[in-house]
Amino acid sequence: MRTNYRIFPLGDRAVIIEWEQQIGQAVHQQVMQAFRQLQQLHKPYILDLIPAYASLTVIYDAVVLYQDLRGYAGEGIRDLIMATLNEAAVTAVAQPRFLQIPVCYHSSVGPDLSAMAEGKNISVEHIIELHTEQTYTVYMLGFLPGFPYMGKVHDLLVTPRLKQPRVRIPAGSVGIAGAQTGIYPQESPGGWNIIGRTPLRLFDAREETPCYCEPGDQIRFIPISLTELQEMTHDI
């Protein structure tokens, strides 16, 4: 029986399941396992499941839940979650998607590259090499629609957020904050260290699946030239 999680109410229509609060594959695998187990229930009162680094938020319709369980909704959803997650049978783990994301690391679209290199006493080329040799896990989407939080970056790339956030960061900008790397899907203010840009559209509300990335995806960054960025952006 798995009891290494806690369940807390979030208002009257949601609960959050929390595991040990850390960034790591082992904990996130438990989050995604719980996500799939609850998803496969196909309960009409479970409206949304939101996985994060070490937690899973369950949003539910209290009225439909009450009618289905004929009891108090708060206790009902908690009992349902515990019964589902504590089942002896293990739900088959879906194979993660492997995605390659092209990124241009030119100084014109990576304004923090030089400062990072200087501060760490390494070359810009070494930063690019370290950033592209890693396979990253998408741990969660947040901040902006479709913004993927990925980790962990190589220890040499760990960098605190900017002391003074920028007012405008272009869509597609690839950044580093702490041990995380991420991509801005839309133009936005932000404090991440920007080291490049992708021509891919990370969020499109017109699509059936609007977010390009999903929690659990495995990501590799592929370096491209400034000319390739401009051509691919034009094509999109």
* CB proximity list for 218: less than 8 A, separation 6 or greater: 96, 97, 98, 99, 135, 136, 137, 138
Q: What is the pLDDT of residue 86?
A: 80
Helical H segments across the chain, by residue range: 25-39, 62-69, 73-85, 113-120, 124-132, 226-235
Is the omega angle on the peptide bond into residue 43 within 30 degrees of 0, that is, cis?
A: no
* CB proximity list for 2: less than 8 A, separation 6 or greater: 30, 85, 86
Domain ranges for the chain, please list them: 6-85, 98-235
Q: Is 54 helix (H, G, I), strand (E, B) or coil?
A: coil
Q: What is the pLDDT of residue 1?
A: 39
Sequence-separated contacts (24+) of 161-168 with Cβ below 8 Å: 161/191, 161/192, 161/193, 162/112, 162/191, 162/192, 162/193, 164/191, 165/189, 165/190, 165/191, 166/190, 166/191, 166/194
Q: What is the pLDDT of residue 72?
A: 53
Question: Which class would CATH give 6-85?
Answer: alpha beta
Q: What is the pLDDT of residue 26?
A: 84
Per-residue pLDDT in tens (0 to 9) along the chain, 236 residues: 356 899 999 988 999 999 988 888 888 888 988 998 898 888 899 999 999 989 999 999 988 887 776 655 556 888 888 888 887 545 555 678 999 999 999 999 999 999 999 999 999 999 999 999 999 999 999 889 999 999 999 999 999 999 999 999 999 999 999 999 999 999 999 999 999 999 999 999 999 889 999 999 999 999 999 999 999 986 55
* CB proximity list for 107: less than 8 A, separation 6 or greater: 113, 114, 124
Q: Is 159 helix (H, G, I), strand (E, B) or coil?
A: strand
pTM over 0.85: no
Q: How far apart are CA 30 and CA 27, in angstroms?
A: 5
Cβ pair 224, 102 in contact under 8 A: yes
Q: What is the pLDDT of residue 234?
A: 64
Task: Return the CATH number of the domain spanning residue range 98-235.
Answer: 2.40.100.10
Helical H segments across 104-191, by residue range: 113-120, 124-132
